[in-house]
Structure 1
Amino acid sequence: MKATARAHPIQGIVKYHGMRDEQRRLPYHDSISVCTAPSNTTTTVAFEPDRSEDSYVVDGEVVDGSGADRIQKVVDEVRERAGVDHRVQVESVNNFQSNIGLGSSASGFAALARAAAEAAGLDLSLPEISTIARLGSASAARAVTGGFSDLHTGLNDEDCRSERLDVPDDFVDDLRIVIAKVPSYKETGHAHSEAADSHMFQARLAHIHAQLAEARDALREGDFERVFETAEHDSLSLAATTMTGPSGWVYWKPDTVEVFDAVRELRSEDDVPVYFSTDTGATVYVNTRAEHADKVEEAIADCGVETDVWEVGGPAHVLDESDALF
């Protein structure tokens, strides 16, 4: 009972913030994201009848505390659905830097859920697996279905699951995401738990459904400017909410704002189709078209930050036995 899976992290287009049920990780509203590649997490899961306790290792480090609790929620859900009680060995590796705002928890829990379900012999669709991944991270639900995906809000697994959106192939193929890496360790759990305490939260809820409708329509039409203008505006709205919570979370750094300024200068002075986006972190996603990627990456690198150029990633998928981590 062993399987290995790989999943890609996500960039939020219209991001969720806060959860109505933290135990089941049920967000207040829908959210839309795009998976990014070649960044990925590879995870091997083995249910072993002779093992005496669960073991979780990520990037060579044993995971304990709250991190282990989140992994166990996913593993326990698989055990319950499959009717198995074996202890489990989990090993996971990222090929990109984690905890700087690049969605590593999304790819991590998506790969975990996909591998665990396969190892336990569960025959589930990707939307069904997304409900398992959601228990570790709501964003992971969208990383399961891949591409541009929409996680629906709800009070149960039938409603609160992810689905892949139908987006024109040429739009997907043309998108380039310049990553402006701004190292700044962060965790988002506390910000999510405080979301409803911000005086800006109700204002965000009032307009988020229009943002979601705009993003869905623009994606269906393959309208680059509308999609990523929406993502840029939503990033600012999200930041306003986190900054006005009880703890006053400010994730951005001076380099973050410098990248924002560079993007706006490219757009206004050079007429380059380019938009910035951030999740809850200091790192910036800079969205542009393939023909402008080199020019945009050069401008971002001139801000003194490390860059990568990524594309759209697919759904979480099972790998060959030869790719197992142990």
Structure 2
Amino acid sequence: MKATAKAHPIQGLVKYHGMRDEELRLPYHDSISVCTAPSHTKTTVEFDPDLDADTFVVGGEELADHEADRVSNVLARVRELADADHAQFPVRLESENSFPSNVGLGSSSSGFAAAAMALAEAADLGLSRPAVSTIARRGSSSAARAVTGGFSDLHAGLNDEDCRSERLDSPLEDDLRIVAGLVPAYKETEAAHREAADSHMFEARLAHIHDQLAEMRDALRAGDFHRVFETAEHDSLSLAATTMTGPAGWVYWKPETLEIFDAVRDLREEEDVPVYFSTDTGASVYVNTTEAHADRVEATVAEHADETMVWEVGGPAEILDESEALF
């Protein structure tokens, strides 16, 4: 009745934007990402008959309103699938991140992935990771890819058989280094997703996104670093164009964000360093390079970011030993 799970956050490579179904969080098109480690979320859950109600605590603070509703959506699906009587008991859930939240570094992906994995284990569901990804998706579409880990592809669809994540094998897993340049500016992703289709750029994005997805899958399988991360860099710019031209005119980037972009391009063009930038919905920047160039790239990014972290490719969500439980 109790379980603890760990999941790594994702960096979007070909990102989804907007949802055709907000309750089931079904995206308009496929999306591809890579998990970043050792950054992670750890979550412990317990079905407890002595509790009066479900409680969700993240980073020491109890969730309420919309954030609590998103966790409840994940929990409701677990209860719907469960045969075990104890899965109907109230739940205590506690979660902690090892990295900054709400700054564009994927905390919702690892958070809901760890929650779904722990809840599925505690409820004795016995599901594969692609199946668990359909549960995590009800909290955040990106969380589906954090469940399967590594380079993963979330397929679009109108049901759980089609809209689930699968792992993509790539020779790039061992050599990739991700320098995260922290630019601490709070961001709101949910509102941007809700108004995505209202941007005049949205149809243009849909028109070319399938070519980007095909290019990304082929480049990942071939282990072509430059093609993979040039595509990811272009996709970041496309996503920002769509976000900034929605009704609210969301602009996530800060001056430091643009400074990192320029510094990355200088390294690439003047020093022939294999390096590309990428952003999700936030001001922080992912800078993708290889192991041999990670120190040089980090030193450059550190000149413009509040903090830097060097990450590798993270694996799938996993169940931890009971000795690692948060309570």
The reply to whether TM is greater than 0.5 is: yes
Alignment partners' CA distance in 2, 1:25 and 1:227: 26
* Aligned twin of 2:58: 58
Is residue 181–residue 305 contact of structure 2 (8 Å, CA) maintained in 1?
no
Question: 2: CA distance between counterparts of 1:244 and 1:305?
Answer: 28
Structure 2 contact 183–305 (Cα < 8 Å) conserved: no
Give yes or no for the alignment of 1:117 onto 2:113. Answer: no
Aligned mates of 1:143, 1:213 — CA distance in 2: 21
Give the unaligned 5+ runs of structure 2.
Answer: none
Cα distance between partner residues in 1 of 2:78 and 2:305: 44
- The Cα offsets for residues 207-256 of structure 1, whole Å up to 9 and x where unpaired, read as 00000000000000000000000000000000000000000000000000
Flag as ranges the 4+ runs of structure 1 deviating above 6 A: none
Q: Name the CA distance, whole Å, in 1 between partners of 2:64 and 2:179.
A: 33
Asked if 1 retains the 8 angstrom alpha-carbon contact of 2:260 and 2:301, the reply is yes
Query: Match of 2:221?
Result: 220
CA shift for structure 1 position 79: 1.0
SS at match of 2:173: helix
- Cα offsets for 1:94-119 (capped at 9, x unmatched): 00000000000000000000000000
Query: Which range moved further: 152-161 or 301-310?
Result: 301-310
> Counterpart in 1 of 2:16?
16
Task: Identify the residue that residue 179 of structure 2 maps to in structure 1.
Answer: 178
For residues 177-226 of structure 1, give each alpha carbon's deviation from its aligned partner in whole angstroms, at most 9, with x where no partner exists: 00100000012000000000000000000000000000000000000000
Counterpart residue number, 2:286: 285
1:41 alignment counterpart? 41
User: Cα offset for 1:305?
Assistant: 2.9
SS in 2 for 1:49: coil
Greater shift in the superposed pair: 48-57 or 25-34: 48-57
Q: Cα offset for 1:125?
A: 0.4
2:323 aligned residue: 322
Q: 1:97 pairs with 100, 103, 107, which one?
A: 100
Give the stretch that moved more between structures: 78-87 or 15-24.
78-87
What is the rounded CA distance, in whole Å, between the counterparts of 2:209 and 2:313 in structure 1?
24
Residue 140 of structure 2 is aligned to residue 137 of structure 1: yes
- The two structures have a TM-score, normalised by structure 2, of 0.98
Match of 1:229 in 2: 230
Rounded to whole Å, the distance in 2 between the matches of 1:305 and 1:325 is 29
- The residue type paired with residue 32 of structure 1 is I
> Any unmatched runs of 5+ in structure 1?
none
Matched, 1:311 2:312: yes
Please give the secondary structure, in 2, of the residue aligned with 1:71. helix
Aligned-partner Cα distance in 2 for 1:207–1:48? 49
For 1:302 and 1:295, locate their aligned partners in 2 and report how far apart those are by CA, in whole Å: 12
Structure 1 distance, partners of 2:124, 2:302, is 46
Distance 1:297 1:272 in 2: 12
Q: Aligned in 2, Cα 1:211/1:304: closer, same or farther, shift over 3 Å?
A: closer
Partner of 1:203: 204
Measure, in 2, the Cα distance between the counterparts of 1:75 and 1:295.
44
Q: Paired residue for 1:189?
A: 190
3-state SS in 2 of match to 1:132: helix
1:174 corresponds to which letter in structure 2?
A: D
Query: 2-side partners of 1:157 and 1:292: how far apart?
Result: 41
- Note the C-alpha offset of 1:51: 1.3
Are 1:27 and 2:20 counterparts? no
What is the one-letter code of the residue matched to 1:128?
A
- Note the C-alpha offset of 1:303: 1.9
AA aligned to 2:185 is S
Q: How many residues align?
A: 324
Distance 1:180 1:317 in 2: 27
How much has 1:304 moved relative to structure 2? 4.6
CA distance in 2, matches of 1:132, 1:299: 40
Question: Which digits, 9 at most, give the CA deviation of each residue in 1:26-84, with x for residues without a partner?
Answer: 00000000000000000001011221100100011111110000000001111111143
Structure 2: which amino acid aligns with 1:37?
A
- What's the RMSD between the two structures over aligned residues? 0.6
2:155 maps to a residue whose letter is H
Distance 2:284 2:230 in 1: 18
